[in-house]
Amino acid sequence: MVSTIITALVSFSSTNIDDIFVLMLFFSQLNSSTKIRHIIIGQYLGIGALTTISIIGAIGVSVIPHEYVGLLGLVPIYLGIKTYLHYKKESRDGKNTAEQKFQNVDNKEPKGTNSIQKNRIISFAKTFINPSVIKVTSVTFANGGDNIGIYIPLFASMNLFDILVTVLVFVLLIALWCFIGLKLAEQPFVSRNIEKYRHILVPIIFIGLGIFILIENGTISFISHNLF
């Protein structure tokens, strides 16, 4: 069991070390529509999907070819472009979109017990289908697409008990990763510089990450081969 735990620690850490930096970027962009819980849920869903696919692959079922997983690299590219265009729009209009959304939410006061209950249900549902959750899940899954190639032989060599132990270790490490990413984002030096250069850093990092994912999974060569 000890060797299984050590193997799980090494496997997760070596394949997800770059996720800490991505999480730090997400945590640095918290606002009225993106909460800490959205990022944590998205991280769990993303890595959970990777782990599930790897376990299925370990029993001989190929679920998603790497080339198609790589297509998710378009997600961070889109987010990077969107962030840059959003910054340009804010600069042009001289308005802070995040503050406007916050004010709009505050102005909508619930009326009556039924309204309060209804809003609670809607709020609970939005926790799981919130666009921020989908965004983090997509980037996490795309960034970990190459993890499948490592996790499949790992799980293939394990019995059911070892797989359960490994999954449990992964669950705990995801929490640790989120904690580290949040604390890094809260550091004065980091938060100050990310806030100052966010319009440059976020687009460059996300677009670069997307291109890397496309190349790493062989998606670009796959597309060019099939189209040309």
Task: Please tell me the predicted confidence (pLDDT) of residue 168.
Answer: 94
pLDDT surpasses 60 at 109 = no
For residue 41, give Cα distances in angstroms to 11, 99, 188, 189, 221.
21, 24, 25, 27, 33
- Provide the domain count of the chain: 1
Task: Please tell me the predicted confidence (pLDDT) of residue 98.
Answer: 44
Task: Please tell me the predicted confidence (pLDDT) of residue 45.
Answer: 93
- As a whole number, mean pLDDT of residues 126-131 equals 66
- As a whole number, mean pLDDT of residues 129-133 equals 81
Distance CA 198, CA 175 (A): 25
Q: What token pair was written down for 154? A: 């790992």
Task: Please tell me the predicted confidence (pLDDT) of residue 104.
Answer: 52
Could you read off the pLDDT of 177-204 as tens digits, one per residue?
Answer: 999 999 988 887 766 666 666 667 767 8
pTM of the model: 0.68
Structural domain including 152 reads 2-227
pLDDT mean across residues, the chain: 76
The answer to whether the beta carbons of residues 32 and 102 sit under 8 Å apart is yes
Could you read off the pLDDT of 22-71 as tens digits, one per residue?
Answer: 888 888 888 777 889 999 999 999 999 989 988 888 877 555 666 666 67
Distance CA 70, CA 217 (A): 5
For the chain, the residue count is 228
